C-alpha cells in the first residue's frame, strides 16, 4: 500500500486535494512506524516533522498551512480562516485545544484530523467551496459531531446539506468493535436507533460506527448516494493502518486532510 489513499467520490473534484495517510513511507520507529503524522502521539517530534515533509512532497502544500487540532473525543468545532493564520503559535495552539472538527473556506489551508480506529469524516460543498474534517470516535459520534459540523457549515457559510459530498474513512469495523452494554443506553439517550447500529454476537456487543455516522449524516439531509464509506478496517488491516486497539494509545496516527486548492 502507498503512503496515502484518496477516495473515489472525491477524486472527481479538481478544486480540492484530499488524502488519508497509511503506515507506509515514513521515518518513525516502534509503535509509531513508520508514517506517523500526529504531533500529539508521543512520537519523536523530529520524526513527525520529517514525515510531514514527506507528505508535502506527495501532496503539494505549504506545511505552515497544515492545521491539526489537539483532539479530546468531544464535539468542539472550529472555523479555520485567514484570521486563524494570523494568530501567534501560542494563540493557534490554544484555539485548537480540545477540538475534534475543523471547517474552512480558505484556499491553501490543509485541515486535518488524526485517527487510529476512530472514524475520520470528510465533508465537501462543491457549490460553495467549503470543506470540513471530523474525528469521530464513539464519544464524538454519540455527541452527534457530524450533525453539528454540518449545521455549523450551514450557519457560517450557508451550506445546503443536499449539496454536500461526504466520505467516511478507514476506521475500526463493526466486526472488530466490541463495546460495553452501557453504550446502548448512551446512544439511545442521544436519539440513535440502537437496533440499527448495535448487534450481539456470541454474547458480545458490536457497534457499527460507519452505519451510525451515515445515519446521522443522512438525517441532516445529505443524500445517501453522496456518502462514501471506504470500508477498510484499521484493526484487521493494522499492517497498513494504525490501530490503537492493536498497538496501544502510545502509537502512530493516520492523518486525514483536505484542502481547497489555490
In a domain? residue 183: no
Average pLDDT of the residues in 29-49: 97
**SS3 (DSSP) at 79:** strand
Are 229 and 174 in contact by the 8 Å Cβ rule? The answer is no
Angle at 184 between CA 209 and CA 242, to 5 degrees: 30
List, for residues 101-151, the tens digit of each pLDDT value: 999 999 999 999 999 999 999 999 999 999 999 999 999 999 999 999 999
Q: What is the arithmetic mean of pLDDT over 196-203?
A: 94
Domain membership of residue 209 (yes or no) is no
Cell 514527506 belongs to 54
| pLDDT tier for residue 218 given thresholds of 50, 70 and 90 | very high
* Distance of alpha carbon 41 from alpha carbon 34, whole angstroms: 13
Contact (CB, 8 A) for 211 and 204: no
Cα–Cα–Cα angle for 254, 260, 262, rounded to 5 degrees = 125
Distances (CA, A) of 45 to 70, 115, 235: 15, 17, 25
Number of domains in the chain: 1
Asked if residue 84 is part of any domain, the answer here is yes
In a domain, 202, yes or no: no
Q: What is the mean pLDDT of residues 163-170?
A: 98
Average pLDDT score over the chain = 98
| Beta-carbon count within 10 A of 71 CB | 23
Sheet strand arrangement including 77-79: 77-79, 101-104, 130-136, 119-125, 165-168, 227-229
Give the Å distances, CA to CA, from 166 to 58, 153, 228. Answer: 23, 13, 6
Q: Which triple of cell numbers denotes residue 90?
A: 501560542
Is 193 inside any structural domain? Answer: no
DSSP 87-106: S-HHHHHHHTBT--EEEE--
Confidence of residue 225 (pLDDT cuts 50, 70, 90): very high
Range of the domain at 9: 4-172+224-260
**113 touches 135 (CB < 8 A):** yes
129 falls within a domain: yes
pLDDT band at 14 (very low <50, low <70, confident <90, very high): very high
Tell me how far apart the alpha carbons of residues 51 and 36 are, in angstroms, rounded to a whole number.
Answer: 7
Whether residue 9 lies inside any domain: the answer is yes
98-103: average pLDDT: 98
- Cβ count near 93 (within 10 Å): 12
CATH number of the structural domain spanning residue 71: 3.60.140.10
Say what the pLDDT of residue 84 is: 98
Tally the C-alpha atoms within 13 A of residue 157's C-alpha that lie toward its C-beta: 25
Q: What is the pLDDT of residues 86-97, one digit of tens each?
A: 999 999 999 999
Percent of the chain at pLDDT > 90 equals 100
Helix, strand and coil in the chain, % to nearest 5? 35, 25, 40
**86: exposed, middle or buried (C-beta count within 10 Å: 0-12, 13-18, 19+)?**
exposed
User: What is residue 239's predicted lDDT score, i.e. its pLDDT?
Assistant: 97
Check: pTM over 0.85? Answer yes or no. yes
Instruction: Flag whether 151 is in a domain.
Output: yes
Amino acid at each position: 500500500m502507498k503512503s496515502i489513499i484518496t477516495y473515489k467520490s472525491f477524486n472527481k473534484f479538481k478544486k480540492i486535494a484530499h488524502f488519508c495517510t497509511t503506515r507506509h513511507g515514513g521515518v518513525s520507529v516502534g509503535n509509531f512506524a513508520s508514517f506517523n503524522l500526529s504531533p500529539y502521539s508521543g512520537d519523536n517530534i523530529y520524526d513527525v516533522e520529517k514525515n510531514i515533509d514527506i507528505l508535502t512532497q506527495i501532496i503539494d502544500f505549504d506545511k505552515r498551512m497544515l492545521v491539526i487540532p489537539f483532539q479530546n473525543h468531544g464535539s468542539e468545532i472550529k472555523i479555520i480562516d485567514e484570521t486563524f493564520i494570523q494568530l501567534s503559535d501560542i494563540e493557534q495552539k490554544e484555539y485548537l485545544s480540545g477540538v475534534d472538527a475543523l471547517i474552512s473556506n480558505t484556499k491553501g489551508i490543509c485541515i486535518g484530523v488524526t485517527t487510529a480506529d476512530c472514524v475520520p469524516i470528510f465533508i465537501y460543498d462543491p457549490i460553495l467551496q467549503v470543506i470540513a474534517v471530523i474525528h469521530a470516535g464513539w464519544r464524538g459520534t454519540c455527541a452527534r459531531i457530524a450533525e453539528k459540523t454540518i449545521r455549523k457549515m450551514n450557519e457560517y457559510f450557508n451550506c445546503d446539506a443536499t449539496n454536500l459530498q461526504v466520505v467516511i474513512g478507514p476506521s475500526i469495523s463493526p466486526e472488530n468493535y466490541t463495546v460495553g452494554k452501557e453504550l446502548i443506553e448512551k446512544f439511545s439517550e442521544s436519539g440513535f436507533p440502537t437496533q440499527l447500529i448495535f448487534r450481539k454476537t456470541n454474547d458480545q456487543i458490536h457497534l457499527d460506527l460507519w452505519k451510525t455516522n451515515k445515519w446521522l449524516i443522512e438525517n441532516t439531509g445529505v443524500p445517501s448516494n453522496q456518502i462514501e464509506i471506504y470500508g477498510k478496517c484499521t484493526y484487521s488491516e493494522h499492517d497498513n493502518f494504525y490501530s490503537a486497539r492493536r498497538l496501544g494509545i502510545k502509537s502512530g496516527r493516520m492523518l486525514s486532510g483536505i484542502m481547497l486548492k489555490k
